[in-house]
């Protein structure tokens, strides 16, 4: 049950926010005060969600491409530091937004307040079809791939069933079954209560963080590497190839850092949000930065830049050099745990967007229902899991991920720019946390984002345009839903 409006707390804030919204969404929020998530998440869980959401398989695979494109260990480490600074700038900006608007939904809320309900809706629409469901499907498939290292029948190549559908054949593999099982277990864990889901998230995150720290420490102290690998490459500290390849290299790095904003989606459930949202975002981003720099030092300590160049399984190859054949089992276990924790964080965060949109009448109303026993947005979690399961079974998640980067960078940039829009539009809004070095901090983030968007649009026009089309497909449903909400009901017209 919601708190009385006369009592101080999240309900008072919600009432203040509802007065700022359009007349379309006011009645939907006011009619059902039970559509309020309980503030039951602490700072440790908020930080864990950020760390788990960011660290996936990318850090173990992309350094080989960076080594190939940059050709210098110093430039390679520098671009990771640049990616960390940009992510920190984004986290600082989201901290102001999250503390000022402690509601579930993250970017959906910020874009709605800054630019209007249409932009908020398009952000949420993209989150469902591209931002969360597709990466969840990919993460579960990735988990099954590494799990098959220990259980070969769960490999993606182990076909269990073939169903001919005209000229196309649908195939069910052992890997897909394992991915569906992982998705189902994670969804059940988060449906069964915020507290229980938070405990699962913390255990997974602590486990994978401890494993990565152990890998770094043992590798740097006991591994058979060579610190001379960190010296300049034959082409020098700044090879000529590094400059034209900086944009694509930065895209790789920012992809590995994506997810630093995860705690913002849980703002409506975080205790003392004005303090804990900024702390969770900043602490999570800093922890990831330390782990990423440590892993890159480990890779460079194990392998010279020439032997890293273009290697996809750079984590496995580096560990093999440091520890011997047993390393393949260790790395497979760490990556399986890392990917599972990342999938869990997305299963937890994504439904809060759909929950917020349903509360505003922009998604089906059932998604705004809170489970009477577990106090979780169970319908929204199930809704997301069903779509992710479809992507796992059809394999279309691969196509979604290819072109998802463009629109995700776009909406992150719009959300960061929203802090400047809202400072002009609502100068008297209570802001418990303010972005340091304003306006330069958000401007740096937005500037680099625009650079990446232009580079991606001209360098990969097909993927970029497909991403834009995915966003625009939400427009007809938005205007249909808006028209439906503004039409008087039969009972109203008789009065």
- Residue 16: CB partners within 8 Å, gap ≥ 6? none
Please tell me the predicted confidence (pLDDT) of residue 403. Answer: 56
Mean pLDDT confidence for 163-171: 77
| Exposure string over 94-105, b if 16+ CB within 10 A, otherwise e | bbbbbbbbbbbb
* The predicted structure's pLDDT at residue 325: 83
Span 173-189, mean pLDDT? 89
Decide if pLDDT at 137 tops 70. yes
DSSP-assigned beta bridge partners for residue 165: 168
Q: Is 313 exposed, middle or buried (0-12, 13-18, 19+ CB in 10 A)?
A: middle
Where do the DSSP E strands lie in 373-414? none
- Domain 38-482, what architecture? Up-down Bundle (1.20)
Of 27, 5, 6, 9, which is closest to residue 18 (Cα–Cα)?
27
Sign of CA dihedral 273, 279, 284, 289: positive
Average pLDDT over residues 195-205: 81
Give the tens place of pLDDT for each residue, 437-477: 999 999 999 998 898 888 878 777 877 787 788 888 888 88
What local confidence, expressed as pLDDT, does residue 60 receive? 78
Q: Could you tell me which residue, 25 or 387, shows the higher pLDDT?
A: 387
Main-chain dihedrals φ then ψ at residue 429, nearest 5 degrees: -65, 135
Copy the structure tokens of residue 36: 């309020």
**Residue pLDDT, tens place only, 353-393:** 888 888 878 888 888 888 778 778 888 899 899 988 988 88
d(CA 438, CA 117): 26
Calculate Rg over the CA atoms of the chain.
23
Q: What is the mean pLDDT of residues 77-91?
A: 91
> Are the C-beta atoms of 225 and 219 separated by less than 8 Å?
yes
Domain ranges within the chain, ordered by starting residue: 38-482
Q: Residue 297 above 50 pLDDT?
A: yes
Inter-residue contact 279 to 265 (CB < 8 Å): no
**Least confident span in 96-100, 107-111, 314-318, 491-495:** 491-495
């Amino acid at each position: 049950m919601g708190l009385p409006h006369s009592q101080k707390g999240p309900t008072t804030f919600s009432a203040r926010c509802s007065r700022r919204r359009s007349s379309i969404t006011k009645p939907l929020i006011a009619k059902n005060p039970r559509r309020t998530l309980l503030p039951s998440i602490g700072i440790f869980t908020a930080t864990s969600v950020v760390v788990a959401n960011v660290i996936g398989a990318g850090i173990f695979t992309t350094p080989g491409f960076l080594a190939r494109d940059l050709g210098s260990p110093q430039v390679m480490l520098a671009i990771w530091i640049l990616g960390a600074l940009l992510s920190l700038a984004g986290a600082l900006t989201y901290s102001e937004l999250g503390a000022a608007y402690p509601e579930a939904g993250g970017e959906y809320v910020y874009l709605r307040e800054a630019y209007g309900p249409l932009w908020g809706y398009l952000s949420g629409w993209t989150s469902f079809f591209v931002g969360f469901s597709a990466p969840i499907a990919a993460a579960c498939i990735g988990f099954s791939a590494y799990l098959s290292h220990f259980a070969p029948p769960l490999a993606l190549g182990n076909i269990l069933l073939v169903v001919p559908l005209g000229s196309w054949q649908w195939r069910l593999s052992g890997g897909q079954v394992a991915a569906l099982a992982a998705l189902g277990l994670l969804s059940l864990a988060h449906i069964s209560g915020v507290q229980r889901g938070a405990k699962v998230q913390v255990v997974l995150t602590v486990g994978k963080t401890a494993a990565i720290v152990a890998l770094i420490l043992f590798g740097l102290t006991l591994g058979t590497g060579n610190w001379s690998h960190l010296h300049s490459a034959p082409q020098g500290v700044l090879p000529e190839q590094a400059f034209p390849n900086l944009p694509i290299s930065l895209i790789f790095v920012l992809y590995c850092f994506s997810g630093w904003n995860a705690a913002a989606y849980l703002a409506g459930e975080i205790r003392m949000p004005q303090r804990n949202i900024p702390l969770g975002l900043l602490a999570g981003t800093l922890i990831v930065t330390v782990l990423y720099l440590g892993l890159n030092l480990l890779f460079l300590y194990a392998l010279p830049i020439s032997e890293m160049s273009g290697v996809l399984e750079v984590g496995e190859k580096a560990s093999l050099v440091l520890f011997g054949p047993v390393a393949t089992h260790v790395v497979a276990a760490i990556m399986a745990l890392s990917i599972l924790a990342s999938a869990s964080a997305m299963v937890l965060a994504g439904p809060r967007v759909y929950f917020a949109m349903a509360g505003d009448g922009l998604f089906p109303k059932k998604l705004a229902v809170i489970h009477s026993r577990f106090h979780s947005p169970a319908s929204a979690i199930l809704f997301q899991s069903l779509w992710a399961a479809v992507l796992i079974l059809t394999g279309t998640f691969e196509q979604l991920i290819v072109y998802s980067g463009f629109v995700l960078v776009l909406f992150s940039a719009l959300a960061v720019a929203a802090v400047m829009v809202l400072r002009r539009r609502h100068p008297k809004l209570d802001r418990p946390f303010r972005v340091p070095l304003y306006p330069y901090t958000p401007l740096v983030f937005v500037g680099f984002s625009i650079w990446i968007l232009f580079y991606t649009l001209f360098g990969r026009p097909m993927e970029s345009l497909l991403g834009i089309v995915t966003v625009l497909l939400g427009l007809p449903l938005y205007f249909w839903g808006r028209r439906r909400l503004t039409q008087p009901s039969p009972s109203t017209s008789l009065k």
